[in-house]
Structure 1
Amino acid sequence: MSRLLSLNTYNYRRGGSDVVFVEHDAMFRARGWDTAVMTMHHPKNEASPWSRFFADEIEFGHEYGMLDKLAMAGKVIYSSEAKRKIAALLDEFPADVAHAHCIYHHLSPSVLVELKQRGIPTVMTAHDLKLACPAYKMLNRGGVCEKCRSGNLLHVVANRCIRDSLPVSALIMVESAVHKSLGLYRRNLDRVVAPSQFYKRKLMEWGWPEQQLAYIPNYVDAAAYTACYEPGDYFFYFGRLAMEKGVATLIRAAAQAKVKLRIAGTGPEGDALKALAAEVGGDIEFLGFVSGEPLWKWVREARAIVLPSEWYENAPMSVLEAYGSGKPVIGARIGGIPEMVREGETGALFESGKVDELADLLRKFAEMPDSVVAEMGKTAREYVARTYTAERYLREMLALYASLGVKLDGPDEGGRGDDCANRSR
């Protein structure tokens, strides 16, 4: 029986990368593999038989004393504790392959060093651009930024790229300098999985060799989503209310186009965006945090989903979820979004940050016959059900593992049917 060890910061569904971590482990366990996980301790973690090997919690939002801060800074750069604990875990669970997700500050690349020393093939999924950019997003207060590509990491401090904080930015600059100079990721990872072609190209531009990268897109179980093709009378955004998400551009465009806009989510820019909406006028409503069936109801009853991002998005799950719900997507032409939106078939694209261009598209979709919008939704549903499948993800991931010499044991996993009448998403 093949053994898979998965590594991540959290052992619960906190964000998109954590969902991929949880579902990747579950997928291989269902296939018959023996699996184990390692994360840091956290109050919201799911119960795990492996929790005795988890690293101590580090949360940057917490208050720490000076000694704790110094200890935490050391762990961020290289955690000897995490290395000891993964060594103990591997003594009990001799993995055939390891798959890391987001481990950067909380486990640190020390765990990769231990895996390499034991000769265990190790893969990491690039959920963000941390393997190139110290600040994850290639973004600062001035917008998209690639200044550190030259190798001069002082830009991280000069622009306070991390939490707009000088000390935290300085710490991450030192962390990145140490990791890059010692090659802690480059030398200890056998492959990096990029969920978008854009991320694969971007990592190559920043010096990663192509042979060390693999493109494997995310997946969604389309059968788990109820599709509603009848278009509603409002446009819908769901996600974080943060600068890089482009919600301010969307608000201005919706007011200019005189269309209804509904916004679900919370975030650091929430108050500022509400003030902007009041200033520009228009039919704009903030719904706050919405999840589960209430969220999917808002999605299903929308005319189209809008993704107005202003940073290098990877492969947003919200696009796949919208398609699964039978809705076209109006997306910004940035990052991996253009790979997922087929213009005129499953939605439309506009130049990121361009209010007038987005307003024109919103107006066009508002005036478009319902039958045309519905047909786009049907095409989107068929496209995601055919292309972004769990079967494809599993097949390509197994091929990647096999290319690293991993013996593949376990029965093939069968497909699932589509019974929308009994689904709640």
Structure 2
Amino acid sequence: MKFKTIVVVNDFSFVNGGAGQVAISSAIGLLAKGYRVILFTAVGPVDENLAKQGIEVVCLNQYDILHDPNRMRAIIQGVWNVKAKVVFEKLLRTLNRTETIIHFHAWSKGLSSSLFSVTKKQGFKTVVTLHDFFLYCPNGGFYDYPHNKICTKNPLGLSCIFCNCDARGYIQKIWRCIRQVIQNKMLYQIDGTLFLSISDLSTSIFKKYYPNKKALLFRVNNPVALLPLFERIHVENNNAYLFVARLSLEKGIDLFCEAVSQLGLEGYVLGDGYLLDTYKKKYPMIKFIGWVTGVEKENYIKMAKAFIFPSKWYETFGLSVAEMQSCGIPCIVPDKNAAAEQIIDGETGFIFQIGSLESLKDKIVCMEKMKMEDLARMSQQAFEYSLRENYSMETHLENITKLYDSNF
């Protein structure tokens, strides 16, 4: 083992999304493989599993910048978190830089890019997993929120700077641009950073927008906590269409509800968000369950005929699509979206035109017209595809530790 210590950097000390899930689960996995693992975070509370596993956690117990009641503090911290920088410096001084990897997962919601100045100054090997698009795009999603569409402008170009694309207004957009300039200055100064892409789309965007064309970039599947059902669900006997995500327009909840309602089909929404009450009233025929986990979530999944993933932005992977295919549920996903990489159109699921209600309805109608034996075949092919892809944690850890040792 060439390296002995891995410092995992993540905004949150608990699982609050895909990046957090990978950061924390991989930290636990690396510890099991014999590494010393230190999780460096801004926001608590600390996941109780970390203490049980014996992982060292440095948590600053700060607010994330969105929920900090002191807005001036949030504005400053989001650009340059002084406390994070000072504590990170003290931590790294206790470590041997020839035996240590700093692995960044997420830093934009609490820690800030001030940490990159520390890794540069002290000469530590740095790895960055590309869970989102904050490496290039000021709002992190290449998405124009007021117009509810994908943004194709050149990040930090004049057309980008003068575009009011932010969900919270133009002042917020300008703040994001300032933050982006500072982050880029810090990150671009670090030589030999190893970047990990989690989809082909993420790879292509990195190659298009990251200025150092010689930067080290490798494609590594994220680990997926596949549903523990261990067998194909017989979707050919089911009628329900599922939506599983937060209830926001960029996630396409409006497309799902409108398509299912217009076609008179059975729909279930598993998730929460600011649109919950509005959409409950607007679509009374759809069952809004709220956010569910564990056995309760599995029970709804067992009722599914198909999973609709109508996201209107790029995504970097499409975790829920991988989960659904692991138990043989065909998925209907948009093109221009990383989730489409997991679908063989017409064989393991369907691909529709992103943002198009009519295109989505057409694909649902195609599924409704399928004979039972054809739907069963599609389900089986989705199930087998998931087995071939191997999203296991063991494979993920093997891949990243090989990259650690072979590139530094």
Q: 1:168 aligns with which of 166, 172, 176?
A: 172
Q: Is the contact made by 2:221 and 2:391 (CA closer than 8 Å) also made in structure 1?
A: no
Q: Is the contact made by 1:229 and 1:374 (CA closer than 8 Å) also made in structure 2?
A: no
Aligned residue in 2 for 1:147: 153
Q: Is the contact made by 1:10 and 1:45 (CA closer than 8 Å) also made in structure 2?
A: no
Question: What pairs with 1:75-86 in structure 2 (closer than 5 Å)?
Answer: 75-86=77-88
Q: 1:320 aligns with which of 300, 319, 322?
A: 322
Look up the SS of the partner of 2:158 in the other structure.
Answer: coil
Look up the SS of the partner of 2:304 in the other structure.
Answer: coil
Shift of 1:314: 1.1
Q: 2:396 aligns with which of 393, 397, 405?
A: 393
Shift of 1:7: 0.5
Look up the SS of the partner of 1:147 in the other structure.
Answer: coil
**Bigger Cα displacement from structure 2, 131-140 vs 212-221:** 212-221
Aligned residue in 2 for 1:159: 164
Q: Would the alpha carbon gap of residues 222 and 286 (structure 1) be closer, same or farther in structure 2, given more than 3 Å must change?
A: closer
2:259 corresponds to 1:256: no
Aligned residue in 2 for 1:350: 352
Residue type of the partner of 2:180? S
Residue-by-residue CA offset, 1:282-334 (whole Å, 9 max, x unaligned): x4221122222111211122001110111011111101110112211111112
Q: 1:60 aligns with which of 65, 73, 77?
A: 65
Aligned residue in 2 for 1:190: 193
Q: Is the contact made by 1:257 and 1:360 (CA closer than 8 Å) also made in structure 2?
A: no
Shift of 1:5: 0.9
Q: Is the contact made by 1:230 and 1:370 (CA closer than 8 Å) also made in structure 2?
A: no
Aligned residue in 2 for 1:410: none
Question: What pairs with 1:70-149 in structure 2 (closer than 5 Å)?
Answer: 70-94=72-96, 96-139=100-143, 140-142=145-147, 143-149=149-155
Q: Would the alpha carbon gap of residues 262 and 397 (structure 1) be closer, same or farther in structure 2, given more than 3 Å must change?
A: same
Distance in structure 2 (CA, Å) of the matches to 1:153 and 1:36: 41
Question: What pairs with 1:356-395 in structure 2 (closer than 5 Å)?
Answer: 356-390=358-392, 391-395=394-398
Q: 1:13 aligns with which of 15, 22, 30?
A: 15
Q: Is the contact made by 1:199 and 1:335 (CA closer than 8 Å) also made in structure 2?
A: no
Q: Is the contact made by 2:44 and 2:59 (CA closer than 8 Å) also made in structure 1?
A: no
Distance in structure 2 (CA, Å) of the matches to 1:89 and 1:133: 30
Distance in structure 2 (CA, Å) of the matches to 1:154 and 1:376: 42
Shift of 1:353: 1.5
Residue-by-residue CA offset, 1:98-131 (whole Å, 9 max, x unaligned): 1110112411122122122222211111111110
Distance in structure 1 (CA, Å) of the matches to 2:214 and 2:374: 41
Shift of 1:160: 5.2
Question: What pairs with 1:296-311 in structure 2 (closer than 5 Å)?
Answer: 296-311=298-313
Distance in structure 2 (CA, Å) of the matches to 1:225 and 1:357: 32
Shift of 1:380: 1.8
Unaligned runs of 5+ in 2: none
**Paired-residue identity, %:** 22
Look up the SS of the partner of 1:304 in the other structure.
Answer: strand
Aligned residue in 1 for 2:272: 266
Q: Would the alpha carbon gap of residues 397 and 264 (structure 1) be closer, same or farther in structure 2, given more than 3 Å must change?
A: same
Look up the SS of the partner of 1:297 in the other structure.
Answer: helix
**Bigger Cα displacement from structure 2, 54-63 vs 109-118:** 54-63
Residue-by-residue CA offset, 1:192-250 (whole Å, 9 max, x unaligned): 21101101111222234264322112233547344343111111111111111112112
2:252 corresponds to 1:246: yes
Aligned residue in 2 for 1:32: 34
Alpha carbon RMSD of aligned pairs, Å?
2.3
Distance in structure 2 (CA, Å) of the matches to 1:33 and 1:193: 20
Aligned residue in 1 for 2:182: 178
| Larger RCO, structure (CA 8 Å, separation 6 or more) | 1
Shift of 1:45: 4.2
Q: Is the contact made by 1:239 and 1:265 (CA closer than 8 Å) also made in structure 2?
A: yes
Q: Would the alpha carbon gap of residues 76 and 297 (structure 1) be closer, same or farther in structure 2, given more than 3 Å must change?
A: same
Q: TM-score, normalised by structure 1?
A: 0.85
Distance in structure 2 (CA, Å) of the matches to 1:132 and 1:7: 19
Distance in structure 1 (CA, Å) of the matches to 2:300 and 2:356: 26
Q: Would the alpha carbon gap of residues 150 and 9 (structure 1) be closer, same or farther in structure 2, given more than 3 Å must change?
A: closer
Residue-by-residue CA offset, 1:120-169 (whole Å, 9 max, x unaligned): 2111111111101010111122111132436237637x4151x4234433
Q: Is the contact made by 2:9 and 2:107 (CA closer than 8 Å) also made in structure 1?
A: yes
Look up the SS of the partner of 1:130 in the other structure.
Answer: coil
Shift of 1:33: 1.4
Residue type of the partner of 2:41? T
